[in-house]
Structure 1
Amino acid sequence: MSINQVFVTVGSTKFNELITNITNPIFIQNLIKLKVKTLLIQYGNSDFSHVKTLIEDPQLTNGLQVNYYDFKPSITDDLTASDLIICHGGSGTILEGLKLKKKLCVVNNSSLMDNHQLELIKAFEADNYVVRFELEDLLIRFLEVNWNELKLKEFESNNGQLFNNLLKDHLVVKRKLII
């Protein structure tokens, strides 16, 4: 399955570092190498003004269609239309992507209070539901993943027990060991 559309979402918080990485010319060229046709960016409260002119440069984008917006009432249509979702580690976005059986590349926003997303991301990664990248690795390691052939575990969205077990096994147990 080829990757036609990549959707990047940062949710409602600021995640300037992710926006900077995915609009970096190296990352844009990586998408072109993968033959991605559309890059859709939901930048939320992140600073986007400095990259608008960069990603609108036809020499850089070389046929890659780049669309962007700050907020919409719902991003479900964008998630549904995309083959690969690159997102922050918010549980809502991850779960929605998993329910839609999408390939998820999750990037931790370590600037948030207590770095609280990291444990959840690692739990999903440990069970092969998502691919996790640190910001500093995204530009270098993105092409190491064969996104077209990648098979992640399908999440059973109607099985609430599965999610509870995931939380219990990976989050609750670790917290008890720390105490």
Structure 2
Amino acid sequence: MKTVFVTVGTTSFEDLIKEITSDEAIQALKHRGYERLVLQVGRGSVLPDPQNFPQISLEAFRFKPSILTNMQEADLIVSHAGAGSCLEALGAGKDLLVVVNDKLMDNHQLELARQLHKDSHLLYCTCNTLTETLRSMDLSVLKPFVPGQPEKFANFMDKALGLK
């Protein structure tokens, strides 16, 4: 079953959870052949009830000791733009769509997403453009991110955050 895994990390990102479970977003996912949606909602107040989503197989949880299995089972990962979540998703070798929280004031997340996008490792959008991105995204342009070279990642982060 073609699966999308959504993670907000340890934070709350209600706008992402609300948008990915909107009728329009679910229809876009179904149109692309996704049949299962797994949501890690973190500390958010929104915990969707699977019974309210008969059009797709939906699971939702707040936290688990590890989400690695969820990532490995996913065909597409939709993630907030936290560095840890991005790195974990890229390390799992999965297609990654990062949703930047444009309500954050000092937004290093956008810089990280832009740089990883420029290097063709992920696609990114905001909640406002999520459904349209799901409809139009071309995942074939993505290149694998080769993990295991911490100095390269440190240099990359320095560059993305404007420290170098």
TM-score (structure 1 length as normaliser) = 0.83
Larger % of helix: which? 1
Q: CA deviation at 1:113?
A: 4.5
Rounded to whole Å, the distance in 2 between the matches of 1:45 and 1:171 is 26
Cα RMSD (Å): 1.9
Gaps of 5+ in 1: none
Rounded to whole Å, the distance in 1 between the matches of 2:134 and 2:36 is 17
Q: CA deviation at 1:158?
A: 1.6
Query: After the TM superposition, which segments of 4 or more aligned residues of structure 1 sit over 3 Å from their partners?
Result: none
Identity across the alignment (%)? 34
What's the secondary structure of 2:5's corresponding residue? strand
Rounded to whole Å, the distance in 2 between the matches of 1:23 and 1:141 is 14
For the Cα contact (< 8 Å) 1:156–1:162, is it kept in 2? Answer: no
Show the 5 A alignment for 1:1-179. Answer: 4-49=2-47, 51-52=48-49, 56-58=52-54, 61=55, 64-147=56-139, 150-172=140-162
Letter in 2 for 1:101: G
For the Cα contact (< 8 Å) 2:111–2:161, is it kept in 1? Answer: yes
How many pairs are equivalent? 164
Gaps of 5+ in 2: none
Q: CA deviation at 1:116?
A: 2.6
Deviations 1:54-100 (A, max 9, x none): x6242xx1xx2111111111101101110100000011111111111
TM-score (structure 2 length as normaliser) = 0.90
